[in-house]
Structures are given as C-alpha cells and as structure tokens.
C-alpha cells in the first residue's frame, strides 16, 4: 500500500507542476506552450486515474490469495490500458 500511495502522491505532484507551468504560459500569453501543455494535462488525467485504480486494487487485496494475484491483475490492467 505504501508504494501505491507514493505513486498516487507523485502523480498529484506532477499534476500540480503541469498546472503551474500552464498558469505561467497563460500569464505570458505563450499560446504555443499552452497548446503543448494541453497534451500533458490530458496525459496527467490518465495517470491520475491509473494511480487511483492502483490504490483501489491494493486496498481490495485483503487476503493472501488476493495479494498473490495482485501483480497478475495489475499487469492485465496495464496491458489493456495501452492496447497491448
């Protein structure tokens, strides 16, 4: 759970950094940078959703059987999210 929460916190920190960069681009009226940052913002929405899902999956793994299959389930989730 500690690792999942760390990932969650890192993604929130990344989002804050991207939002701060976007605010600077807005104030500077740097339109090309704003457009570029839209891609990062969209990616961060996906990354935050994944970190939410990771925390939920770890929280659901309450018994030894669930814990032992957690890796397999996470790999399956990752493969489906990238279309592999």
pLDDT per residue, tens digit, the chain (84 aa), is 899 999 999 999 999 999 999 999 999 999 999 999 999 999 999 999 989 988 988 888 877 777 777 777 777 777 776 665
Predicted local distance difference test score (pLDDT) of residue 44: 96
* Burial profile 13-34: b = 16 or more Cβ within 10 angstroms, e = fewer: ebbeeeeebbeebeeeeeeeeb
Q: What angle do CA 32, 13, 3 make, to 5 degrees?
A: 135
What CATH architecture applies to the domain 2-82?
Up-down Bundle (1.20)
The CA distance from 3 to 43, in Å, is 21
Predicted local distance difference test score (pLDDT) of residue 8: 95
**How is the chain split into domains, by residue range?**
2-82
The CA distance from 10 to 51, in Å, is 9
Predicted local distance difference test score (pLDDT) of residue 83: 62
Predicted local distance difference test score (pLDDT) of residue 82: 66
Predicted local distance difference test score (pLDDT) of residue 38: 96
The CA distance from 3 to 70, in Å, is 13
């Amino acid at each position: 759970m500690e690792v999942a929460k760390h990932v969650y916190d890192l993604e929130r920190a990344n989002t804050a950094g991207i939002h701060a960069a976007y605010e600077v681009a807005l104030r500077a009226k740097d339109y090309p940078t704003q457009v570029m940052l839209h891609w990062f913002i969209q990616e961060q929405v996906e990354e935050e959703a994944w970190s939410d899902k990771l925390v939920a999956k770890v929280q659901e793994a309450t018994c030894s059987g669930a814990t032992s299959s957690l890796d397999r389930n996470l790999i399956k989730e990752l493969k489906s999210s990238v279309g592999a």
